[in-house]
Chains A and B, each alone.
Chain A
Amino acid sequence: MTEKHCIQSLLASSTHDMRNVLAVIRESTGLVQDMLRFGADVPNKERLLQALEEVQKQISKGALLTNSVDCLTKSTAEHGAGRCDGVRVAQAFCSMIARHAKAAHICCIATTAEQAVWFEHDALTVLQSLMSVFEQCTRAQAALCLEIRAARHEGTIGFYLTAEGEAAALEALASASGIQSAPPPWPAKLLPWREQGKQRFWLALKAYSA
Chain B
Amino acid sequence: MTQEAIKILLVDDEVQFVDTLAERLSMRGFTADIAYNGTSALEKVANTQPDVIVLDLRMPGMDGFAVLKAVKQRNPQVQVIILTGHGGDQEAVIAGRYGAYSFLRKPTDIDALLDSIRMAYRDKVENAFVAASFAQAGDIDSAREVMAEKDLLQG
Contact = CB atoms under 8 A, between A and B. Distances in A.
Interface of A: 12, 15-20, 22-28, 30-31, 34-35, 38-39, 51, 54, 99, 102-105
Interface residues of B, number: 23
B135 to A, nearest CB: 41
Q: For chain B, what secondary structure do more than half of its interface residues adopt (helix, strand, loop), or is it mixed?
A: loop
B105 A102 contact: no
A16 B24 contact: no
Given A23-B85, A51-B20, A54-B16, A38 B58 contact: no
B134 to A, nearest CB: 41
Contacts of B13: 102
A103 B58 contact: yes
Contact of B60 (A17, A19, A51, A105): A105
B107 A16 contact: no
B85 A16 contact: yes
Contacts, number: 66
Given A30-B24, A103-B58, A19 B17 contact: no
Given A20-B85, A22-B106, A103 B24 contact: no
Interface of B: 13-14, 16-17, 20-21, 23-24, 27-28, 58-61, 63, 85-86, 105-110
Contacts of B86: 12, 16, 19, 99
B101 to A, nearest CB: 20
Q: For chain A, what secondary structure do more than half of its interface residues adopt (helix, strand, loop), or is it mixed?
A: helix
A149 to B, nearest CB: 25
Given A20-B14, A20-B17, A102-B60, A26 B27 contact: no
A27 B28 CA distance: 14
Given A19-B86, A27-B21, 6 more contacts: A17-B85, A19-B105, A35-B27, A38-B27, A54-B20, A103-B63
A103 B106 contact: no
